Structure 1
Amino acid sequence: MAMIDANGLALHVERMPARMPARTAAGTAPPPTVVLVHGMLIDSLISYYFTLAPRFAAAGLDVIMYDLRGQGLSERPPAGYRLEDHLDDLEALLDRLDPAGPVHLVGNSYGGTIAFGHAARHPGRVASVSMIESEPATAAWSRKMAVNLARGAEELAREGLFAELTEKHGKHVTKRVRSAARLLHSTTTARDVPASRVLDEDAIRSVDCPVLALYGAESELAVQEEWLRSLLPDCRTVVVPDQEHWVLVGATELTGGLILDWIRAHTPVPAHTPIPVHTPVPAAGDVIR
């Protein structure tokens, strides 16, 4: 575990070095770097630690994971939770870690919104973006977040909630939900996130790095995949049947294979690179069957 000062906060960071460094005639080439950004409230870098991170490291990627401000083991300030605050954190963290070359960003849910926002801000620093059940920050996104966070704050204050969760799902789930409740009730998160600066369609179109977007067929976000492809110059979307919002957990193997292939397809790699091709990258708007 490492605590790194970035943007004035102590952020919890974990790294999994590439286990199979790429070799060229001149020696060992720096492995591609992938940065994994988790979702909001009950999430933390742990969601990657036991899903994508080990697979990516074994495939020859240098993996960086971190807890967002206020979540996991990172510092929890009382205010400062707009999207641009999270973007400042990621920018400062990458400045501190100084990875070799442009990074591949993978974001789950709100983490995908952060990843896309970073690509819009720093096009030259991003090799590709993979969004899992996520969307860019737009005016519609802001309105939705305001409703969802207000509803979440109310539900997480409900009497008897934690006893019910412990009985149904155990103490581990209850611990994570308690942490989410503290974030909503002791910080300005619910007010700050909907007040974030958003992107218009011209700003979204300006993101020219390759973007892969994965959606669950039963998720409310799946309807936007055609819209996203219509705006981005290099975008593939995949709709996964029988999945709702938690595609990362419900279809981990498929998700990992698709993202690895996307990274491989958009990394200038030396000969004999160890990053394997797992699943052919589907055509835009494909549905995995």
Structure 2
Amino acid sequence: MTVLDTGRVRLHVQRLAPTDGGPPRATVVLVHGLLTDSLASYYFTVAPALAGAGLDVVMYDQRGHGRSGRPPSGYGLDDATDDLDALLAGLDVPGPVHLVGNSYGGTVAFAFARRRPERVASLVVVESEPATAAWAVKLAGLLERVRHEMSVNENAALDWIAAHHGGHTARLAKSAGRLVRDTTIARDIPASPVLDDAQIRTVRCPVLALYGADSDLAEQAPRLRALLPHCTTVLLPGLRHSVLVEAPGRVRDAVREWVGRHDRTPPPREPVTAGSQGCTR
């Protein structure tokens, strides 16, 4: 375990070297989602297998989450992008990296790819989307709902979560409730700068987008293929939003194959035909 002080926040970091002891083929940075999520969602699913495939695996708790610092303010998307930039600099990670983002972590990955395209070899986003005006409205509603439920009726909400999803999830929800109540996250994230279609098109690196076929976000698949010149989308039958937790093997295999395909070959300079939609094998 490492605690990296960026000067703005202390970030809890875990890094797994290739298990064969050899030099890494590439570096993969895993970015988790909001509120109840943390680097643990990767540590106990795909991270060890990626290290076993010869990759340098970096994962960290975003500010306010897990074991990272919880400042009272500074939770906008630009802050999250600043943190990722400072993380790579602080760890002295060389060369372009492959970013894997789950849910809000994928939104952070998109933002970082726009800001620092020279630092990104490819993106793998799981149940995610770029920050748009519609995204901001959706996040505002979600965060306000959490704030209300965990402020007005916390005990009843936690009892329901424990009964339906177990005590561990209830403990995560209690921590998420404190984050929303005690910080400005519920205001900061929806107020983040958003992208129009022209700005999204500036993401030039290869993008693999994985969605549960039964998820509300599955409608992002054709949109991303239309906007991004080097995008492949995959719909996973029978799954909703919790793709990483419910199908870690399929996520692991998709990331390994994608990084293997793009770890040495730069993306073409000119747009090519958008990637196809299908199911992982």
Query: Do the two structures share a fold, i.e. TM-score over 0.5?
Result: yes
User: Which range, TM-score by smaller chain?
Assistant: over 0.9
Deviates more, 1:182-191 or 1:164-173: 164-173
Give CA deviations for 1:92-136 in whole Å, capped at 9, x if unaligned. Answer: 111111212100000000000001110011111000000000000
Structure 1 spans left out of the alignment, 5+ residues: 23-28, 270-282
Residue 45 of structure 1 pairs with residue 39 of structure 2: yes
Aligned mates of 2:69, 2:43 — CA distance in 1: 20
Aligned-pair CA distance for 1:148: 1.2
Q: Which residue, out of 99, 102, 121, partners 1:105?
A: 99
Deviates more, 1:168-177 or 1:247-256: 168-177
Mapping for residues 105-254 of structure 1, pairs under 5 Å:
105-157=99-151, 158=153, 159-254=155-250
Letter of the 2:10 counterpart: A
1:144 alignment partner AA = K
Q: Deviations over 1:255-283 (max 9, x none)?
A: 110111111100118xxxxxxxxxxxxx6
Aligned 8 A contact 1:225 1:237 in 2? yes
Q: Show the counterpart of 1:2.
A: 2
Task: Work out the CA distance in 2 between the residues paired with 1:211 and 1:286.
Answer: 15
Show structure 2 runs of 5+ residues with no match: 266-274
- For the residue of structure 2 that corresponds to 1:156, the secondary structure is helix
2:276 alignment partner in structure 1? 284
The CA deviation at 1:287 is: 3.4
TM score, norm. by length of structure 2: 0.92
Task: Tell me, yes or no, if the aligned pair for 2:17 and 2:24 is still in contact at 8 Å.
Answer: no
**How large is the Cα RMSD of the aligned pairs?**
1.5
- Deviation (angstroms), 1:168: 4.1
Q: Within 2, Cα distance between the matches of 1:196 and 1:150?
A: 16
Q: Match for 2:160: what amino acid?
A: E
Tell me, in whole angstroms, the C-alpha distance in 2 between the residues paired with 1:13 and 1:101: 19
Q: Is 88-97 or 6-15 further displaced after alignment?
A: 6-15
Give me the whole-angstrom Cα distance separating, in 1, the residues matched to 2:10 and 2:168: 24
Q: Which moved more, 1:6-15 or 1:211-220?
A: 6-15
Q: Which amino acid aligns with 1:240?
A: L
Contact 2:24–2:54, Cα closer than 8 Å, also in 1:
no
The letter for the 1-side match of 2:2 is A
Distance, in Å, in 2 between the alignment partners of 1:265 and 1:165 is 41
The whole-number CA distance in structure 2 between the counterparts of 1:126 and 1:21 is 25
Alpha-carbon separation, structure 1, partners of 2:280 and 2:118:
32
State how far apart, in whole Å, the 2-side matches of 1:235 and 1:164 are.
40
Paired with 2:55 and 2:13, the residues of 1 have a C-alpha distance of 16
Q: 1:142 to 1:7 in 2, by over 3 A?
A: farther
8 Å Cα contact 1:32/1:100 also seen in 2: no
Is the 8 Å Cα contact of residues 103 and 127 (structure 1) preserved in structure 2? yes
The 3 A distance-change label for structure 1 pair 212 and 7 is: farther
What's the CA shift for 1:45?
0.3
In the TM superposition, residue 220 of structure 1 has moved relative to its aligned partner by 0.5
Q: Distance in 2 between the 1:160 and 1:81 partners?
A: 28
Code of the residue aligned with 1:160 in structure 2: it is A
For the Cα contact (< 8 Å) 1:7–1:89, is it kept in 2? no
Work out the number of aligned pairs and report it.
Answer: 270
- The one-letter amino acid of 2:37's match is D
Normalising to structure 1: TM-score of the pair?
A: 0.90
Could you tell me how far apart the structure 2 residues matched to 1:7 and 1:140 are?
A: 33
**1:11–1:75 CA contact under 8 A, matched in 2:** yes
1:288 Cα shift?
Answer: 4.5
Q: 1:266 aligns with which of 256, 262, 265?
A: 262
Amino acid at match of 1:135: E
